[in-house]
Amino acid sequence: MPSGMRTYGTRRRYVSKDNAIWASLDELPQALHMIDTNVTNNEFNKHTSSFSLEIDKKSSGAKRSEDKSVKSLPKAVDKTDGRHSKSNLHLVPTIVVPSHGRNINETKDNSALNTSTSEPKSTSDTNTRLQENSHKMPTQLAFLLGLVDQEMPVSFKDYIKSFKSPIYKIGEASYSEVFKVEKDEPIVLKIMPFGKKNQIRCSDIINELKITKKLSKLEGYVNLRRAIIVKGTYPSILIEEWDKYDLQKESENERPNRYHSSQLYCILCLNHSGTDLEHVELSNWFEAWLIFNKTMKVLAIGERNFEFEHRDMHWGNILIKRRDDEDLSYLLDEVSFDEFDSSNTSLTVPERSSTADSLDITLIDFTLARMRHTGSSSPIFNEFDDPDLFNGRDDYQFDIYRLMAKVTKGHWDEYFPKTNILWLHYLLHQILYRKTIPKPRDHHEQQLMERLKKLFKLLEPLQRSRRGSCPLQNCAFSSATSLDEWVSQRFDE
């Protein structure tokens, strides 16, 4: 596997195998609107060509030398500097800024990003606002702060101290560390350093937040609870937990104590939303069918509402949550206690006619996604400008990236819902050939297994195509929506 592919393989997740806790994100402020980048590109290029995000300059105005304290970055980050070292900000199609005519902080509907009673307050204004001098703030950082309803970054240490509950590291990814805050309803903190060389780009964070906010209104997509921008060195309590994790599981990231006081981070506060498909054990073919069918329907909903393409729907980005705690509730509706014979010590429990309500699926991680806001002519998309993304081997996932490039012909801003079909074919491949599912126990399960195999053949990207032809050229389905309609008509139960 190429050195730059760690982000996109089986390690592209925010938790370990032993602690499969994932994401659900809540909503962003409503007082946002989109502006055309034709107006802002010049301004962007002016400010971002030297975008170091070191905004703590000496008040005397003396030029400060470049920060030398961070001599090396996490291994995973070092491997993928191609994509994030670029500053082609003209590739970002739209920018989110606070609405004209009023301050975003004055909008009452923005409570989703404000501290709620169920979460600790980040800090008071007096103790948490980092005092900045009169130097102008980099443009993209200002946009990002407006997006999360902040005027300035807050203190990293103070924000972490505001949680009065135990915190543990539970996982990591190429650009982030993930910690769990122990509460009645656990909170997962995904911490991403950004803005410097070999770190995630500010523009990528902006785009992902915009997409997540829109999709959070739809069923089956993650909901953003809170996003916050912090600044400073890594808090000691997180370093201690990082060390414990490293001793137990050997972290592949560098110890985060190397970050300087000028380092900026974006923290996403996430709810528990299940386990990624890779680490879920499927007990029967009913569950296998439900996962595919519900994923297809979620993609179709996104297509119809926002011309959505996930473009990175590997099995680490599909979360599965069983409603085990609710499994007995259906008995109250189906068992008549009026007819219960007290002389009979046995009670016949009706079999559940369907497992359709036993699983929830949630799609996460829209870093590479494409969508268009309703009423807007400017889509939000990723340029796929990392060559390493198309060089992966030994996993069908990497073939999908190359097939997408053929479908789009490099026009990543345009709408190609066939990419969703490609990822659904990948999903079928993983279910049929990478998951260990018990043999069908009855005729119905056998039918479901055969149904999945038939769909796998129908969606084969290069079936009956001549060499060099476009993937899915002869496929009857051009989108998840068209496939959903066909499946509903043919297999409606």
Catalytic residues: 312
Q: Specify whether the CB–CB gap between 427 and 363 falls below 8 A.
A: no
3-state helix, strand, coil in the chain (%, to 5): 40, 15, 50
Nearest of 30, 28, 27, 33 to residue 99 by alpha carbon: 33
According to DSSP, the residues that pair with 276 across neighbouring strands are 319
Query: In sequence order, which ranges of 272-390 are alpha helices (DSSP H)?
Result: 285-306, 329-334
Q: E strands of 323-373, at which residues? A: 359-363, 371-372
Q: Residue holding tokens 């049929």? A: 432
CA–CA separation, 31 vs 146, rounded Å? 10
CA–CA separation, 267 vs 150, rounded Å? 13
285: amino acid identity, one letter: W
CA–CA separation, 454 vs 162, rounded Å? 53
Rounded (5°) CA angle 477-480-486: 60
Q: E strands of 74-120, at which residues? A: 94-98
Instruction: State phi, psi for 456 to the nearest 5 degrees.
Output: -60, -40
Nearest of 430, 490, 427 to residue 292 by alpha carbon: 427
> What letter would DSSP give residue 155?
E
Q: Specify whether the CB–CB gap between 264 and 194 falls below 8 A.
A: yes
Nearest of 281, 276, 282 to residue 314 by alpha carbon: 276
What is the per-residue DSSP string for 246-257? HHHH--SSPPGG
Number of alpha carbons in the 13 Å side-chain half-sphere of residue 440: 16
Instruction: Give the list of residues 6+ apart from residue 84 with CB closer than 8 angstroms, or none.
Output: 77, 175, 198, 199, 200, 201, 204
Q: Is 263 left (phi over 0), alpha (psi -120 to 50) or beta?
A: beta
Residue 66 burial by CB count (10 A; 0-12/13-18/19+): exposed, middle or buried?
A: exposed
b/e map 184-196, b = 16+ CB within 10 Å:
eeebbbbbbbbbb
